[in-house]
Copies of this chain bind each other. A is one copy, B any other.
């Protein structure tokens, strides 16, 4: 494991979620002496929703998740760390089906209520025998904390990433705990990112899916570390219903707004944490685009800036090189007019109406760039479309991690 990211955030005080019990064990998918198999047992009637990678070459796990999500209920989550099982053909599929069957038999549930994720190297079939022995061990293990579970789903992560929120729904207090792994191969349509949100709220599966999809658009799909999109990305939300509220089904149900806000907050926190653990990250960068012709256009412009190696290296060098921001806007392929552009760092405009501002004073901007949290603002000057995206800088650390990584 690399040194902890300088942008790390302490794991929150995450309460137990009634009806969701995490356990961990050593399946030894790699030659390491750490827990790498996570099992979260979910009580009967748990609703599930999910979003997955758009990468065409997705893993069997992702395909199965999509299929099983149609059922809307879950009894178990299994996460394998150290092997993504992606691009492993029929051998990989056999391994996942064996896991599903073994867990379903253990719980006496339908196979379609067992959700499996795997993360790690691509192209090596998940060893069935190790998974089988690991499952036997994890079934007998004592329940663990959310932080221990988070460490177990991690691979190249440098710190455990979690988020909590709560809301009052129908007079009952409901809790949400989110955990996530991922630090590289992070891009618009999700990431080498496995995220799981657990709540004791009672929520109809279809409504939970609506809420998660909406939040996903403004959180997980607005982050990028390196523009690369994983074949395994998955975020699942599980609602056990143990809080005892009347199940949420519609936006105008009592407490639906509060629950939606809490869920959104957890998604946003988790998304930011992934960027804060971006491979080699030394700076957390927020890019706010306004004045675009539409929100979608603003999003694409923001992502063009966030994915530009030249912008990201400039920030790494604490250089207010706004010319590179101009370049990135220009290559986004979206409507823009050079002579209407305005660019700021933090709240200081450096360029307006297509050229450097007359009063340009680099000192406060240089001071801002020395910090850990960098804000870039871009006004396109054409309309009212807006979007905010997040990324990190591109450093020697990214190269070191990725020119050496391999199981």
Which 8 pairs between the two chains have the least Cβ-Cβ distance?
A: A122-B323, A57-B330, A317-B403, A89-B355, A313-B402, A55-B330, A229-B331, A123-B323
Contact across chains for A331 and B402 when beta carbons are under 8 A apart? no
**Chain B residues within 8 Å of A323, by CB:** 84, 86-87, 121-123
Contact across chains for B123 and A326 when beta carbons are under 8 A apart? yes
Partner of A330 from the list B58, B90, B328 (CB cut-off 8 Å) is B58
Residues in chain A within 8 A of chain B (CB atoms):
54-58, 84, 86-92, 121-125, 184-185, 187, 189, 226-231, 307-310, 313-314, 316-317, 319, 321-324, 326-332, 336-339, 341, 351, 353-356, 394-396, 398-400, 402-406
- Nearest-CB distance from A381 to chain B (Å)? 13
Q: Given A227-B309, A316-B399: A355 and B88 within 8 A (CB)?
A: yes
**Chain B residues within 8 Å of A125, by CB:** 355
- Nearest-CB distance from A4 to chain B (Å)? 21
- Nearest-CB distance from A275 to chain B (Å)? 15
Partner of A394 from the list B121, B339, B399, B405 (CB cut-off 8 Å) is B399
Contact across chains for A86 and B228 when beta carbons are under 8 A apart? no
Partner of A319 from the list B353, B354, B406 (CB cut-off 8 Å) is B406
Contact across chains for B57 and A327 when beta carbons are under 8 A apart? yes
Copy number in this complex?
2
Please name 10 pairs of A and B residues whose Cβ atoms are closer than 8 Å in the assembled complex, sorted by A: A58-B338, A87-B326, A87-B338, A227-B227, A314-B402, A317-B402, A317-B403, A317-B405, A319-B405, A396-B399
Contact across chains for B122 and A230 when beta carbons are under 8 A apart? no
- For the complex, give the distance between the alpha carbons of A309 and B351 in Å: 30
Contact across chains for A123 and B322 when beta carbons are under 8 A apart? yes
Partner of A122 from the list B185, B189, B326, B336 (CB cut-off 8 Å) is B326
Partner of A123 from the list B310, B332, B356, B394 (CB cut-off 8 Å) is B356
Contact across chains for A327 and B122 when beta carbons are under 8 A apart? yes
Contact across chains for B310 and A185 when beta carbons are under 8 A apart? yes
